[in-house]
Structure 1
Amino acid sequence: MSGLSIKYFDYGQEQIDYLTQADPDLGEAIARIGRPERPVIPDLFTALVHAVIGQLVSTKAVNTIWGRMQERFGEISPGSLASRSADEIQGCGMTMKKALCIWEIARKAAEGELDFSGLSRLGDEDIITELMRLKGVGRWTAEMLLLHSLERPDVVSWGDLAIRRGMMRLYGLSALTKAQFDAYRARYSPYGSVASIYLWELSV
């Protein structure tokens, strides 16, 4: 997501101290890594389009497609995308399935069927439920929006392979069950999102 936003996920010493005390293994990793920055896209619609493009695609490919979209359409907004065709959106380098998904989301937002400002006022699970009503948006995508757009404080996604890989490396595990994952996630709460930022660093 580099170069797409000058804003970063907001966290500080309070979260770091809490996680260090709650989980000594994570605390050692935090001390070793320092303070990684995680870019966020504050506008929920823009972030959703970016997340749909990013599903199962490399960061390099996402940045290429995103750059083409900005060149072709200007601001990534409901109006700018709904007024184009799915073919034009696909022409930026994505599959037609993704292009149709993005166009439909843009159309719904432009016509008022989808209220992103109202969505942002809901609780985490309610936002996930509403976003998953959209074609092409699953739980992982919705959870990434909670963290990378709304900066919700307690997001640790089971559906994120890199987070699971980081967790396994942190604790020296060869496998990770959902029960183990949930126990670690509970340990990180209420600052799971900051834990996720460090788990991503550990997964590389």
Structure 2
Amino acid sequence: MRTIPTKLFDYGQEEIDYLKSVDETLGAAMSRLGKVERVIIPDLFTALVYAIVGQLISVKAVHTIWGRLQERFEDISPHHLAMQSADEIQSCGMTMKKAVCIQQIAHAIDGGAFDLETLHQLPDSEVIRKLTTLNGIGKWTAEMLLINAMERPDVVSWGDIAIRRGMMKLYGLQTLTREQFDQYRIAYSPHGSVASIYLWALSFE
């Protein structure tokens, strides 16, 4: 099975010190947890397929399906997946809707109708706008690509249940309104992605 290249989200003391200075509660949690590493997939197409697989399912289920995908197809590239049928992709354990979505996106990229690499030159809002023109890609999936492939520094996703759960645990909240969420998100800026990495860790404790 071909190994998919990964790396760790790149951040250091500067981001940690900043977040500790703007939010004492988060800072205390960061000190307790130590440096939390986030594995990312730099290849945009591979990361996009991974994000689609991860829509609305548990982390454990994602790992299972992702393992099957790699075993079955080895090469997770637009050209290779464009040649597969949706049935073959679906047989790895995902819904048919996701399989069709992956196959269509692979076709669009392989045929030149969509250029993923140009996203690197665009601001976050434009990356989200472009990605959400693709079938099956909503804002959450686009935001996951921004963090988990592009290493954009300031992404805190309202659509991510685990991030919201981490925030509620951190601040001892029974509910979380969009207004409260936005207040925290703005406070974390410009290092929201590192805050997200810690919120994920807190949500799974």
- Give 1:84 shift: 1.1
- Give the TM-score taking structure 2 as reference length: 0.95
Deviation at 1:63, TM superposition (A): 1.8
Q: Give how far 1:5 is off.
A: 4.8
Contact 1:147 1:153 in 2 (8 A): yes
Deviation at 1:73, TM superposition (A): 1.5
Q: How does 1:179-194 map to 2 (within 5 A)?
A: 179-194=179-194
Q: Percent identity?
A: 63
Q: Deviations over 1:85-111 (max 9, x none)?
A: 111111111111111000000000000
Q: Are 2:15 and 2:194, in contact at CA under 8 Å, matched by a contact in 1?
A: yes
- 1:140 equivalent in alignment to 2:140: yes
Distance 2:175 2:94 in 1: 33
CA distance in 2, matches of 1:123, 1:196: 19
The answer to which of 63-72 and 33-42 deviates more is 63-72
Q: Please name the residue that 2:75 is paired with.
A: 75
| Contact 1:154–1:193 under 8 Å retained in 2 | yes
- Which aligned runs of 4 or more in structure 1 are off by greater than 6 angstroms? none
> Which whole-Å CA distance do the structure 1 matches of 2:5 and 2:174 have between them?
36
Give the match for residue 26 of structure 1: 26
Gapped runs of 5+ residues in structure 2?
A: none
SS at match of 1:120: helix
Structure 2 counterparts to residues 1-204 of structure 1, below 5 A: 5-204=5-204
CA shift for structure 1 position 164: 1.0
- Computed over aligned residues only, the root mean square deviation of the Cα atoms, in angstroms, reads 1.2
CA distance in 2, matches of 1:167, 1:133: 30
Return the offset for 1:80: 0.6
Alignment check: 8 A CA contact 1:5 1:39 kept: no
How much has 1:52 moved relative to structure 2? 0.4
The 8 Å contact of residues 74 and 80 in structure 1, kept in 2 or not, is answered as no
The alpha-carbon deviation at position 4 of structure 1 amounts to 5.8
What is the TM-score of this pair, normalised by structure 1?
Answer: 0.95
**Are the counterparts in 1 of residues 6 and 42 from structure 2 also a CA contact under 8 Å?**
no
Deviates more, 1:22-31 or 1:70-79: 70-79
1:16-50 Cα deviation digits (max 9, x unpaired): 00000011111111100101111100011110001
